[in-house]
């Protein structure tokens, strides 16, 4: 426990002087869209982000594509329960998105990241600190983190397809 506290203090100290804290959303599922609840909003906050949609200490809940677009997150994490980062990235690439998706700052600026949610987001355990470190690294690229931290985080880039409907091939199909 002491080591976890020290790692959390390190993250918070490293980002304490940041001029800006990005607006962040963590999507726990893509079809339909769900945002992370429970402890996930607190993870985002400890990592230096401003949570835009999830609610701490409440269950994850469904949101619309329009709500995500309106929230205008500057950083987006994909953390579907039961998926590793590569699986999450493949599912994201298989989806079709409306043109409005490209207006989301995180998408437009290439700041969408897949997390190894099964290991560092979905389970309330000590590995959550690794998830917070990975989130902080994505939000603050100059941050120095352990190699293991970078291994649970994959950049997404742009979706491969563009359509007027979200959906084909998304999670759970």
User: What is the structure's pLDDT at 22?
Assistant: 97
**Predicted TM-score (pTM) of this structure:** 0.86
d(CA 34, CA 53): 10
171 domain residue, yes or no: no
161 domain residue, yes or no: no
Residues 6+ apart with CB under 8 A from 152: 85, 115, 116, 119, 120, 130, 131, 134
Tell me what percent of the residues of the chain surpass a pLDDT of 70: 87
User: What is the structure's pLDDT at 160?
Assistant: 47
**Domain with 40 in it: what CATH number?**
3.40.50.1980
Number of domains present in the structure of the chain: 1
* Res 31 pLDDT > 50: yes
List pLDDT tens digits, range 155-169.
997 654 544 444 433
Domain limits at 30? 2-155
139 domain residue, yes or no: yes
166 domain residue, yes or no: no
């Amino acid at each position: 426990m002491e080591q976890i506290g020290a790692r959390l203090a390190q993250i918070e100290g490293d980002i304490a002087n940041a001029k800006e804290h990005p607006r962040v959303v963590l999507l726990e599922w893509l079809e339909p869209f769900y945002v992370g609840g429970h402890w996930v909003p607190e993870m985002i906050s400890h990592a230096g982000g401003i949570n835009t949609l999830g609610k701490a200490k409440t269950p994850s809940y469904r949101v619309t594509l329009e709500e995500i677009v309106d929230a205008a997150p500057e950083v987006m994490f994909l953390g579907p329960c039961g998926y590793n980062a590569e699986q999450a990235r493949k599912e994201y690439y298989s989806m079709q998105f409306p043109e409005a998706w490209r207006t989301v700052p995180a998408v437009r600026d290439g700041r969408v990241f897949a997390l190894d949610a099964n290991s560092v987001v979905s389970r309330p355990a000590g590995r959550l600190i690794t998830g917070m470190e990975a989130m902080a690294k994505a939000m603050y690229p100059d941050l120095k983190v352990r190699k293991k931290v970078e291994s649970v985080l994959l950049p997404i880039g742009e979706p491969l397809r563009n359509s007027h409907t979200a959906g084909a091939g998304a999670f759970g199909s």
